[in-house]
């Protein structure tokens, strides 16, 4: 027996029905609401509408009847348009009667439960509709709808790894079954092989997104709900899977027809391919044979062993690379011919007759001629190679001996002609003499090799070697080079002896130079560093110390000049000796200091001395000028700074002490504003002096603790404080006059606000604001309801959620109950009187009852009325009335507080359910 709200019918087996505990499971109910809502919207969107809350949107029966009309394609009786309960029950009964006419028995589902928003009954009714219109028509091998749908899923997902569909809950929980169904019918949409069982949420979302985007199947399930549920809702899954079945069932018949056509065409295409392949292979093979045969019949060479060897390599390459593929083509051509004839015979087609000259026998005869020419070509090549190898052996011997001698002689002439000893030190020259003696011994040993090369060249001339010209040229070049090497060896020996004598004298001069140049060079480096040393001073005393140190250094310069001249004379003597034998000035092995460096550094020191004098004098003048600027700025700043601080304290005390009326406070603030503007020239004078201080790069001043930045900030704070206080007082006057608040009330509000504004920030934190309300008599309970009431108050006084309450918003809130203002509801009621109690009004009535300019103002801004009882030109005065007060609808603000004034009289008792009209007071603050 089916449970209340879920009918037992022929679509489901009795054992598949749920028990009471399952039906009351909140998780299953949540899943069903999501799935059934999405299923309904997939059909309702065809009529241009949708539902948001399944138990609420079907209560009046209108969208329920529309849903049945869309999914059945039939017209239901005209619905009742009234809003009374009996109208809604009548519409729902019309829908239930229509379902009953389709052979569905509704168990314990009544119109009253649907109208009352019974979730369980509503879900049961929608499940009945889904069974009748979405699942009943699923027939697989005469099984019930559920069994047939399950069998369809099992067959479609059978080839897929990690998919085993046994039911409509746990089998679909990891998402792979949904992905497999999509991939089976549309493999282009999902790469199934990249999916894993370990990512169920990703798998489910992939299937739901692809189905929604490409298959027009709405997203009826939620991935997180499926994974987090111990057992997903079976009916929700069945509803979603049935959409897959209907989406893919239409493609089966077209696939079968296409396969049949493809099978017939494939046989014919394969026969044509074999014919074309035979013709192509036959043409290519015959063309290759005709091209290759003349090459094999050619018996000419270049009479050289390499040339003949290349021809043999080409022949071997032909045998290894070119012929085997053609032999395979010949075999494939014969096999293709035989296969084609067999296929044609089996399909009752006439035998294939190749083009003239391309018969199998024609190709066999051409191949036989090719092999005959190939055999003769190979025998001729081998005999020619044997003859040329004997002559080439002697030529290789000649070249080998020439290469050995040329490798030995390479660079020898350049070495003997080199003047490298003129750039070497004494020890290097001595080593060169030893090396030269070893070379002379090696030269004598190579005499026999040169004579052997000449004898082999003479023998090749006698045998008439084909490249004898190159042999003779090479032999002549070797003999001429041998004669030149003997002459150059004697010349280098004499030059090395002379260089050794001169370098011994230069070495002693280098040693003396090194002993004297090193300490002098260090003195020059230190002097140059001191003269170029950057300094940063801040007082005249510091620059005077630098003057005294510089004068002491200048007294050491005459003695340094004598040492410099002695060192330079040693360097000049070395240059004279070097030029006498034509060698470059040798490097001093005893020091890295050279005369050019000494001369350059000495010149730099002499030039830097007067420059240092000038730099120190300029810095002295600069420090004297900076001292004057410091004193001038401090004198002004020590007057302006205290004046600004006093003015800030005076302005702040006006609004805090609240002496006199608001007008008196405003007059005092204007007087301060005027006096500040008159004091502006003093700030301008300080800016001028500060500019000079900055240009002089002065960063500290011991005569004052004020800086221009702190003075600017103080000046800007003073101007801002005066302007802000003037604005606040003017707004308080405006609020007082417009709300009719007395001076005492205004002072009471200000005193309360200031009392809780501990840090004088002109705003209250939520805790301070709550304490202030309590101090004024508001009864805000210290429980959860009281916290909720206070949060609603905060949403009014702080609509931008800034986290604090300004005095303006506080004042607007406190004066709300004392003011008598029009509300959107009152304006709406006035329009209703003019319209004769109708929910709309016409332009004609507005022009009759209102002044012309105001009537046109309303006509231009009122939206057209779209109700069922609308007449041509009807205007919606309700939305217009609420828009006048900045809201799309009248606000209902339930909270409970009582405000008690100074006299103790209750001025307002706002209990739960009391309606407060929300209207804009000023930017950023709504009451």
pLDDT in tens, 172-181: 889 899 999 8
Pick the range with the lowest mean pLDDT from 23-27, 197-201, 257-261.
257-261
Residue 872 DSSP code = T
Q: How far apart are CA 824 and CA 884, in angstroms?
A: 7
The confidence band for 250, taking pLDDT boundaries of 50, 70 and 90, is low
Q: What is the pLDDT of residues 670-684, one digit of tens each?
A: 888 888 889 889 888
The confidence band for 235, taking pLDDT boundaries of 50, 70 and 90, is confident
- Of 121, 169, 135, which Cα lies nearest the Cα of 4? 121
Give the chain's radius of gyration (CA, Å): 56
> Across the chain, how many H-helices and E-strands are there?
34, 8
- 805 forms bridges with which residues in the sheet? 764
- 876 forms bridges with which residues in the sheet? 863
- Ranges of H-type helices in 658-707: 662-678, 680-695
Q: What is the mean pLDDT of residues 803-813?
A: 78
Q: How far apart are CA 464 and CA 389, in angstroms?
A: 15
Residue 230 DSSP code = S
Q: What is the pLDDT of residues 727-741, one digit of tens each?
A: 878 887 887 777 667
Q: Is the pLDDT of residue 864 over 90?
A: yes
The confidence band for 841, taking pLDDT boundaries of 50, 70 and 90, is very high
Q: What is the pLDDT of residues 504-530, one digit of tens each?
A: 787 788 788 888 888 888 888 888 788
Residue 34 DSSP code = H
Q: How far apart are CA 859 and CA 850, in angstroms?
A: 11
Q: Say if strands 875-876 and 897-900 run parallel, antiparallel, or are unpaired.
A: unpaired
Q: What is the pLDDT of residue 240?
A: 84
Q: What is the pLDDT of residues 125-174, one digit of tens each?
A: 888 888 777 777 777 767 788 888 888 998 889 889 889 999 988 888 89
Residue recorded with tokens 């480096």 = 525
- Within 8 A by CB and 6+ apart from 224, the residues are 201
Residue 134 φ/ψ, nearest 5 degrees:
-120, -25
* 805-to-57, 345, 798, 870 alpha-carbon distances in Å: 40, 99, 6, 46
State percent of the chain over pLDDT 90: 3
> SS in 3 state form for 484-524?
HHHHHHHHHHHHHHHHHHHHHHHHHHHHHHHHHHHHHHHHH
Pick the range with the lowest mean pLDDT from 330-339, 418-427, 702-711.
418-427
Reading the block at residue 589, the tokens are 């092995």
3-state secondary structure of 616: helix
Q: What is the pLDDT of residue 817?
A: 52
Q: What is the pLDDT of residue 489?
A: 85
Contact (CB, 8 A) for 776 and 796: no
Q: Within its chain, how far is the Cα of 200 from the centroid?
A: 27
Q: What is the pLDDT of residues 278-303, one digit of tens each?
A: 888 888 888 898 888 888 888 787 77
The per-residue pLDDT of the chain, averaged, comes to 79
Q: Is the pLDDT of residue 21 over 70?
A: no
Q: What is the mean pLDDT of residues 264-273?
A: 71
Q: What is the pLDDT of residue 267?
A: 66
Q: What is the mean pLDDT of residues 354-379?
A: 83
Pick the range with the lowest mean pLDDT from 12-26, 46-60, 466-480, 646-660.
12-26
Q: Is the pLDDT of residue 499 over 80?
A: no
Q: What is the pLDDT of residue 822?
A: 59
Pick the range with the lowest mean pLDDT from 32-41, 50-59, 811-820.
811-820
What are the strands, taking DSSP E only, across 810-854? Answer: none
Q: Is the pLDDT of residue 857 over 80?
A: yes
Q: What is the mean pLDDT of residues 348-368?
A: 82
Q: What is the pLDDT of residues 549-567, one digit of tens each?
A: 878 887 888 888 888 888 8
Q: What is the pLDDT of residue 828?
A: 86
Measured from the Cβ of residue 297, the count of other Cβ atoms closer than 10 Å reads 12
Q: What is the pLDDT of residues 183-211, one digit of tens each?
A: 888 899 898 888 988 899 998 999 889 88
Residue 5 DSSP code = T
Reading the block at residue 201, the tokens are 């949420």
Q: What is the pLDDT of residue 883?
A: 83
* 919-to-104, 251, 812, 816, 831 alpha-carbon distances in Å: 54, 60, 11, 10, 19
């Amino acid at each position: 027996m089916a449970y209340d709200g879920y009918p037992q019918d022929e679509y489901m087996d009795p054992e598949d029905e749920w028990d009471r505990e399952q039906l009351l499971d909140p998780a299953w109910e949540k899943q069903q609401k999501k799935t059934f809502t999405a299923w309904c919207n997939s059909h309702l969107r065809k009529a241009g509408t949708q539902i948001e809350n399944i138990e609420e949107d079907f209560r009046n029966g209108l969208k329920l009847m529309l849903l049945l009309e869309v999914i059945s394609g039939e017209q239901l009786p005209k619905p009742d348009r009234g809003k009374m309960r009996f109208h809604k029950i009548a519409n729902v009964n019309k829908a239930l009667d229509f379902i009953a006419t389709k052979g569905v028995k509704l168990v314990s589902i009544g119109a009253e439960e649907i109208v009352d928003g019974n979730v369980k009954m509503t879900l049961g009714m929608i499940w009945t509709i889904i069974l009748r219109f979405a699942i009943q028509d699923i027939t697989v091998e005469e099984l019930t709808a559920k069994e047939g749908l399950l069998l369809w899923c099992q067959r479609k997902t059978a080839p897929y790894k990690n998919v085993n569909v046994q039911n409509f809950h746990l089998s679909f929980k990891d998402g792979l079954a949904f992905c497999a169904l999509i991939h089976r019918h549309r493999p282009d949409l999902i790469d199934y092989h990249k999916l894993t069982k370990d990512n169920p949420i990703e798998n489910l979302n992939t299937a739901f997104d692809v189905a929604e985007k490409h298959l027009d199947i709405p997203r009826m399930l939620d991935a997180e709900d499926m994974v987090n549920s111990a057992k997903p809702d079976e009916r929700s899954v069945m509803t979603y899977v049935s959409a897959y079945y209907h989406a893919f069932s239409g493609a089966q018949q077209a696939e079968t027809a296409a396969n049949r056509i493809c099978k017939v065409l494939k046989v014919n295409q394969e026969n044509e391919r074999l014919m074309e392949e035979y013709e192509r292979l036959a043409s290519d093979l015959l063309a290759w044979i005709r091209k290759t045969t003349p090459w094999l019949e050619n018996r000419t060479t270049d009479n050289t062993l390499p040339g003949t060897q290349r021809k043999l390599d080409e022949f071997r390459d032909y045998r290894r690379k070119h012929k085997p593929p053609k032999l395979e083509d010949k075999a494939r051509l014969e096999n293709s011919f035989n296969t084609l004839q067999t296929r044609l015979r089996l399909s009752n087609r006439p035998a294939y007759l190749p083009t003239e000259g391309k018969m199998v026998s024609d190709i066999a005869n051409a191949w036989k001629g090719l092999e005959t020419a190939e055999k003769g070509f190979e025998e001729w090549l081998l005999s020619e190679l044997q003859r040329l190898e004997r002559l080439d052996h002697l030529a290789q011997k000649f070249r080998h001996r020439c290469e050995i001698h040329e490798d030995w002689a390479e660079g020898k002439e350049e070495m003997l002609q080199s003047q490298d000893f003129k750039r070497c030190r004494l020890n290097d020259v001595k080593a060169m003499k030893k090396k030269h003696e070893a070379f002379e011994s090696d030269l004598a040993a190579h005499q026999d090799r040169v004579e052997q090369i000449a004898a082999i060249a003479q023998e090749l001339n006698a045998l008439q070697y084909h490249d004898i010209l190159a042999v003779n040229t090479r032999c002549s070049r070797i003999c001429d080079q041998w004669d030149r090497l003997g002459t150059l060896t004697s010349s280098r020996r004499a030059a090395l002896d002379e260089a050794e004598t001169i370098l011994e004298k230069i070495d002693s001069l280098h040693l003396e130079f090194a002993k004297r140049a090193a300490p002098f060079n260090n003195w020059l480096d230190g002097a140059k560093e001191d003269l170029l040393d950057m300094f940063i001073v801040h007082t005249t005393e510091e620059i005077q110390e630098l003057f005294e140190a510089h004068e002491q250094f200048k007294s050491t310069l005459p003695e340094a000049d004598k040492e410099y001249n002695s060192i330079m004379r040693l360097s000049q003597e070395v240059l004279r000796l070097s030029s006498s034998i034509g060698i470059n000035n040798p490097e001093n092995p005893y020091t890295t200091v050279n005369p050019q460096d000494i001369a350059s550094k000495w010149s730099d020191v002499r030039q830097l001395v007067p420059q240092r004098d000038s730099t120190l004098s300029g810095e002295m003048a600069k420090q004297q000028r900076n001292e004057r600027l410091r004193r001038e700025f401090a004198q002004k700043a020590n007057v302006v700074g205290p004046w600004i601080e006093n003015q800030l304290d005076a302005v702040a005390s006006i609004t805090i002490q609240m002496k006199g009326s608001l007008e008196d406070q405003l007059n005092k603030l204007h007087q301060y504003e005027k006096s500040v503007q008159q004091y502006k020239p003093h700030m301008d004078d300080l800016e001028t002096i500060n500019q000079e201080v900055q240009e002089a790069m002065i960063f500290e001043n011991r005569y004052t603790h004020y800086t221009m930045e702190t003075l600017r900030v103080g000046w800007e704070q003073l101007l801002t404080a005066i302007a802000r206080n003037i604005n606040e007082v003017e707004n308080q006057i405006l609020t007082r006059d417009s709300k009719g608040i007395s001076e005492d009330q205004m002072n009471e509000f200000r005193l309360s606000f200031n009392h809780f504004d501990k840090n004088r920030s002109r705003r209250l934190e939520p805790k301070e604001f709550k304490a202030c309300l309590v101090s004024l008599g508001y009864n805000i309970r210290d429980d959860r309801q009281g916290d909720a009431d206070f949060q609603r108050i905060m949403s009014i006084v702080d609509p931008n959620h800034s986290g604090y309450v300004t005095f303006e918003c506080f004042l607007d809130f406190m004066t709300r109950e004392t003011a008598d203002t029009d509300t959107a509801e009152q304006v709406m009621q006035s329009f209703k009187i003019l319209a004769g109690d109708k929910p709309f009004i016409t332009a004609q009535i507005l022009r009759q009852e209102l002044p012309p300019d105001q009537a046109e103002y309303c006509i231009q801004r009122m939206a057209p009325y779209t109700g069922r009882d609308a007449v041509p030109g009807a205007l919606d005065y309700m939305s217009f009335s609420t828009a006048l007060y900045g809201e799309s609808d009248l606000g209902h603000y339930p909270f409970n507080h009582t405000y008690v004034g100074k006299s103790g009289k209750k001025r307002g008792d706002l209990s739960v359910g009391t309606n407060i009209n929300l209207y804009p007071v000023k930017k950023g603050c709504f009451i």
